[in-house]
Amino acid sequence: LILFICFINPELFANERDFKKDKYLAYEAKDYDNCINNKYSAEEISEIMKNKVVTIYTNSKDNQSYGVGSGFVVAHYNKGTYILTNSHVIADSGSIDIEWLDGHKDKASIVIDGGGVVDNNDIALLKIYGIVGAPVKIKKESTKTGRDVIAIGAPFPLAGVLDYSLSKGVISSIRKKGTLIQTDTAINKGNSGGPLIERSGCI
């Protein structure tokens, strides 16, 4: 994510959903003050994130297996929508499909793959053509132990994919000099790549 942000102008980040207009949407840095001052209920956060969180389906190169994960929009740039997820979600994939909450589907390509399966390297950036959804707001400040958080993703039990599922918890601890966040929020297979959100509505 840091590598990606270094290459783009932050003014190109967007705050609104726009399926039709072929243009960049405005981003204003002052909006990030809301990551400190806003306090939303779980119900309100669910509404805020509906056009930001996606379910990711991958097919293996031999088309013999598929995987499910989650992701979230981080930017609109150069007629494309960029989605952050985990590297292990898209590992060994032959094709990647992005599904939005409204059922719309898009094909995605890999822009950056950290190639890891744990910790800091387990990150990937995907791109789909067109301006779709709305980027999340990402906090500049560190979170704190004990803070309420919500995870949104697509847990994958035996019964099938449960897309856009919410679970609540707290920040249990900050580990490894601030690079690892521990939470007691319920995280299941399929939640990988999804956001952990504070009550401010920011990631």
**Would you please indicate which residues are annotated as catalytic (active-site) residues?**
88, 122, 192
What is the C-alpha separation between 165 and 198, in angstroms, rounded? 16
Q: Fill in the amino acid letter for 44.
A: E
29, 10 Cβ separation under 8 angstroms: yes
**81 burial class (0-12, 13-18, 19+ CB within 10 angstroms)?**
buried
What is the C-alpha separation between 167 and 147, in angstroms, rounded? 14
What Rg, from alpha-carbon coordinates, does the chain have? Answer: 16
Nearest-5° Cα angle at 15, 129 to 35: 130
Three-state DSSP at 103 gives: coil
Place of tokens 């299941």: 188
Report the number of secondary-structure helices (H) and strands (E) in the chain: 3, 10
Three-state DSSP at 10 gives: helix
What is the C-alpha separation between 46 and 166, in angstroms, rounded? 8
